[in-house]
Structure 1
């Protein structure tokens, strides 16, 4: 069993210490920089009501909310049927970890990241620190462990995430009226601590997490690390709160030192500058950067616009939209972590499956410019630009003039976001007779379109590289491969 003393022993043994100066020597693993595309998985008790989104556990206790009214109408008063009463209904009878990882591999993903514990506090793994786990209750299966075992039989890298920090206040609204959250709450209870939700949930909000809660968070996190040895540990928001600064440094040092022991590089992805820049991987939720960055980063987004978990009212994105996201991110030196939400019984919804397989089919043809892709001298060209930041909806449409670039080996890959008609003009490859002008001066050897056997003609001019276009089918992005001398 992990203890506070054991955590300090691992940190003291080094080479990483619990301070930013030491943690700043961290390096993003090569496999992550080459992998580009991963699958996120939100699956838990919230998949049982499957109503609106994965925050059902919080919102069902907010009087007047759609979840509050839906819950009373469907299950009865919160004092008689609380969130904990979904546990026996979460049986996962169709959960097949082998089927899951085979689907993710077919989608072209190189890693996947199931949520180990969401804000609701139900652990999808075995733990010494709580009885409210998928092993002891509900499915009575080690969900996380089974997924890791299945991954080890493939080339997929196993990662996981913890959203435990927000549990400090996630059930707090249940104390405002007659509900089951009003039970005596002590450490170890499912709803504990159910503190009032702060108006400002950022750096210095009050009430701040107590020492008791922070120690519990530290122990749970290090236990998760030791038992399942994920290659990446993803933290959701709110670990940027000042109360988490010291325990977060301890987790990072513990985890990175364990990676050295395991001879397996480990990484933490974080949001909102929770960690010092350079000590982990920058995470941008549902958003992107406008330009390529000199540092490596990741964006996480969902397969639907309106929820991370399965619900009965999902508004799915199109395959085209998701490929646009992938291309934009890779061209700007990042990875895409795409979330899917299984049903409560453990089956992957048919629409999710259909979308994932379509992405996989596209990557089979175009993936050579995605995997291991590095930024070119510019991320792209064309009139359509993304708005930088989190929670920014991507462009609703691109034109055939919108092109994004990556470099792999001897080739420059030009991803044309909308299938071109007639002639393709890549203005970034215009000739320049003046070597002092910061323009393209390389020698082009060959040009082709991935997935099309038809030979193309091309010419470099002062206006750009002009390329004839084969007869293109479908409306998904196409890739022009330009081989250099």
Structure 2
């Protein structure tokens, strides 16, 4: 009886996860936008590549350099003064001029990402620095008129579609109005005391905005009508001319009805092209400092975060293999492939999708450490991809010591506040950078869409030749027809009330987590 209930639960869940999106037009109201249903292509894809890349990579000091270089106490200011000059004359506008993207080859990069298993590509279209990476109709500070003199977003889009992948864009523009205001200040001491930075000069305010005094780190408290109008028009331009299937926002929904109007426009334009909506907004469950949040209008995104249990709807973890923007730091700070694979498998078992950032060098190339990592990931997905891509959650996401650790953490951490940021979500989640390594007793599960196959990942290869997976008892699964180890072949097995007992080969077929394919009768 328990098996029948579990099978019905899984089948019902799969019907929910793969439901067809209605073609009804969306209105810019919360009620209308909450009719959103996750597109099946996205739930199938599991892996996307995020690309933080832009003028910020020139100084090699991170994505917040454009703001920090105007803080006389910050190391970015001191580095800028030494390497480029005082920001009263040589400002971020001049860093933009140095960005040439001279070795950027989108076709070659997307081919590498596709081989690793990526189903969609998401380049940053504009960051906090108010610089558009496309042929922006409404903003002269763009990559066609300045810097590389190339339509960066257009090149990414063409290369992505050529490989048959889905194309997305991210915009981080909403906070720019206040975030960039330090560029209007001046030194308070030293030889340059009182000398105004270049952001205060009228001829530069197309980039730096007008002087208004609000230096808030997050979404501006009182943005001008002109800035909100510019934000809206640039989004409409991006959606209409580059037709992304995914729009990522670095926060929740900004600017009230204006923000909701952009979400509705994204979905409605996609309906015009496809007959039904295949687009999605990725947004964060944060309220107050980053706009307004309502559940169910898109896909919930946790920046460098993961849930501690499976979710009913598809969600996303966006994280990076190292810093968000390439900064030339020693490669020892990059994530190891084993860590990436563990995180990937774990979140897929919980109905998650991984959006993994690849920081490119200023010239547009990957460094050798990144290339080596992607080669290893490609080798792993070639063997184990069947158990990841196009799968759905099973009735349990996993078993093992890490499950008990997560339960203990759930009692110890405030479910609403994580590292000082208020999240609008009932289920606890943690930073993916704080997760404990998964071991040989940790198992993660996925299932085929029709629930006829269960995939069981052993997260580290056991030293013992015998492995017991207690969740796969006959009571939970019903009768099993066959078991094989992906990349190896059939293995000896038996099943009873204690679970599924496997006889392991002497060595693992891949260097990281290994997947068993369990066919049900």
Fold shared by both chains (TM-score > 0.5)? yes
Q: 1:368-414 deviations in whole A, cap 9, x for unaligned? A: 11011111111100111456435342434222110110001421111
Aligned equivalent of 2:350: 332
Partner of 2:279: 266
Residue pair 2:303, 2:318 contacting (<8 A) in 1 also: yes
Is the Cα–Cα contact under 8 Å of residues 325 and 394 in structure 1 kept in the other structure? Answer: no
Equivalences, count: 455
2:263 equivalent in structure 1: 252
Task: Please report how far the alpha carbon of residue 208 of structure 1 lies from its aligned counterpart in structure 2 after TM superposition.
Answer: 2.1
Tell me how far apart the structure 2 counterparts of residues 373 and 62 of structure 1 sit (CA, whole Å): 48
2:211, 2:316 → 1: CA distance?
31
SS at match of 1:445: strand
Check 1:426–1:133 CA distance in 2 against 1; reply closer, same or farther (3 A cut).
same
Q: Which residue in 2 is equivalent to 1:428?
A: 471
- 1:273-352 counterparts in 2 under 5 A? 273=286, 274-304=292-322, 307-313=323-329, 315-352=333-370
> Contact 1:285/1:390 (CA < 8 Å) preserved in 2?
no
Given that 2:180 and 2:215 are in contact with CA atoms closer than 8 Å, whether structure 1 keeps it comes out as no
Task: Say if 1:318 and 1:63 are closer, same or farther in 2 by CA, change over 3 A.
Answer: same
Q: Tell me, which stretches of 5 or more residues in structure 1 are unaligned?
A: 1-12, 433-439
Aligned to 1:8: none
User: 1:276 Cα shift?
Assistant: 2.3
Displacement of 1:416: 0.9
Match for residue 103 of structure 1?
112
1:396-411 correspondence runs (5 A): 396-408=436-448, 409=450, 410-411=452-453
- Kindly tell me: are residues 198 and 392 of structure 1, through their superposed partners in 2, closer, same or farther at Cα, counting changes over 3 Å? farther
Distance change >3 Å, CA 355–CA 55, structure 1 → 2: same
| 1:221 to 2:235 alignment | yes
Q: Secondary structure of 1:130's match?
A: coil
The alignment partner of 2:431 has SS state of: coil
Q: Distance in 2 between matches of 1:19 and 1:224?
A: 22
Paired with 2:501 and 2:214, the residues of 1 have a C-alpha distance of 58
| Aligned match of 2:170 | 161
The question of 1:126 aligning with 2:135 is answered yes
CA distance in 1, matches of 2:304, 2:46: 16
Partner of residue 481, structure 2: 445
Partner SS for 1:16: coil
Note the alpha carbon deviations across 1:326-364, whole angstroms, 9 max, x for none: 111110111000001111111121211211121121111
CA distance 1:198–1:191, change in 2 (3 Å):
closer
Mapped contact 2:123–2:168 kept (Cα < 8 A): yes
2:211 and 2:374 mapped to 1: Cα distance?
37
Higher helix share: 2
On the 8 A contact 1:171/1:194 being kept in 2, the answer is no
SS in 1 for 2:326: coil
Q: Say which SS state the counterpart of residue 135 (structure 1) adopts.
A: coil
